[in-house]
């Protein structure tokens, strides 16, 4: 750093970064700036971490915690998730309920920050912040949006893919009585074109289930869009909730679904 004095310390290094609006730093950068060895840096890091000045979500990746977030014990996940995933060299996007909340579906705020990536990564829990990573093999970049954050930008699934993901990964999205509420809050942001594009990247079962939810909330145009897509497909009747533990409530001929739970929105 240009303005460090002749005997820089880790504390002064963090002051300098924070003065320039930076809250993230890497071990190698600190070693280079301070001209110290691993052992000395470890001692300084431990001392400042004990004071709540910094945390280390992943080895070699550090967050500077300003006073207003000391009680929370960590920066908000939106402040660091993009930098963390670039540090890990992993593609990602913020998805499911976290994406839904960013798109205005905030009826039920998620208790965790949900990130989709193509590698198994252990959850991060620091202070009140809990980040979980959901594995997905691949996804189209065209269904992602870049959203500005306090420290830069992050990638988020667009409303159409968010709705599909919530249905596909329903256990992570609070199950279907929660999901139908989320979908109902998202529909105003889902265009027919984006829904058609997203449909190409999901299995038939997910499309059938989302179609049923759209019908339930009386979103006729989007439901008809999915129905048209499915019209030339050879559909098999499937259970709405997989597993067979729930009794049959009704059959939906339109979606080839065995409805085995009463699904109702909270709105």
How far is it, in rounded angstroms, from Cα 87 to Cα 153?
Answer: 15
63 and 92, same structural domain? no
The answer to whether residues 167 and 253 belong to one domain is yes
Distance CA 85, CA 194 (A): 26
Residue that is last in its domain, among 53, 69, 85 = 69
Domain match, 187 and 225 both: yes
- Residue 126: inside a domain: yes
Q: How many domains does the chain have?
A: 2
Using CA atoms, how far apart are residues 225 and 35, in angstroms rounded to an integer?
A: 61
Alpha-carbon distances, residue 236 vs 48, 179, 203, 204, 255 (angstroms): 59, 23, 13, 10, 9
Is residue 6 predicted with pLDDT exceeding 70?
A: no
Residues 189-245: pLDDT tens digits? 999 999 999 999 999 999 999 999 999 999 999 999 999 999 999 999 999 999 877
Both tokens assigned to 167: 């249905």
| Digit-coded pLDDT (tens) for 57-85 | 999 999 999 999 999 999 999 999 999 99
Residue 138 domain flag: yes
Q: Which two tokens stand for residue 2?
A: 């240009």
In a domain, 27, yes or no: yes
With respect to residue 266, please indicate whether it lies within any of the assigned structural domains: no
Can you tell me the distance from the alpha carbon of 121 to that of 128, in angstroms, rounded to the nearest whole number? 19
CB count in 10 Å sphere of residue 152: 14
pTM of the model: 0.92
The CATH number covering residue 237 comes to 3.30.460
Among the ranges given (3-12, 15-24, 237-246), the one the predictor scored with the smallest mean pLDDT: 3-12
* Average of per-residue pLDDT values in the chain: 94
**How far is residue 80 CA from its own chain's centroid?**
13
Same domain (yes/no): 59, 107: no
Distance separating alpha carbons of residues 39 and 16, to the nearest angstrom: 22
pLDDT at 197: 97
97 domain residue, yes or no: yes
Length of the chain: 267
Based on the fold, state whether residues 111 and 63 are members of the same structural domain: no
Domain extent, residue 144, equals 77-259
Q: What share of the chain is helix, strand, coil (3-state, %, to 5)?
A: 45, 20, 40
126 DSSP 8-state letter: E
Residue 265 falls inside a structural domain? no
Is the predicted pLDDT of residue 185 greater than 90, yes or no? yes
């Amino acid at each position: 750093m240009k303005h460090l004095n002749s005997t820089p310390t880790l504390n002064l290094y963090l002051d300098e970064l924070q003065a320039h609006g930076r809250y993230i730093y890497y071990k190698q950068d600190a070693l280079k700036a301070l001209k110290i060895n691993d052992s000395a840096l470890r001692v300084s890091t431990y001392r400042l971490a004990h004071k709540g000045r910094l945390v280390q979500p992943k080895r070699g990746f550090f967050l500077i915690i300003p006073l207003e977030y000391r009680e929370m014990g960590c920066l908000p996940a939106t402040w660091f998730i993009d930098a963390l995933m670039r540090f890990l060299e992993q593609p990602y996007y913020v998805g499911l309920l976290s994406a839904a909340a960013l798109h205005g579906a905030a009826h039920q705020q998620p208790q965790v920050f949900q990130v989709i990536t193509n590698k198994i990564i252990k959850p991060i829990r620091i202070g009140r912040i809990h980040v979980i990573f959901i594995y997905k093999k691949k996804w189209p970049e065209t269904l992602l949006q870049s959203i500005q954050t306090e420290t830069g930008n992050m990638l988020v699934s667009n409303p159409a893919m968010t709705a599909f993901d919530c249905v596909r990964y329903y256990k992570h999205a609070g199950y279907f009585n929660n999901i139908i509420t989320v979908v109902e809050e998202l529909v105003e942001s889902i265009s027919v074109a984006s829904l058609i594009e997203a449909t190409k990247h999901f299995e038939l079962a997910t499309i059938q289930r989302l179609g049923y939810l759209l019908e339930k909330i009386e979103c006729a145009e989007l439901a008809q869009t999915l129905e048209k897509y499915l019209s030339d497909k050879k559909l098999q009747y499937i259970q709405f909730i997989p597993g067979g533990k729930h009794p049959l409530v009704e059959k939906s001929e339109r979606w080839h679904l065995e409805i085995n739970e009463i699904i109702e929105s909270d709105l």
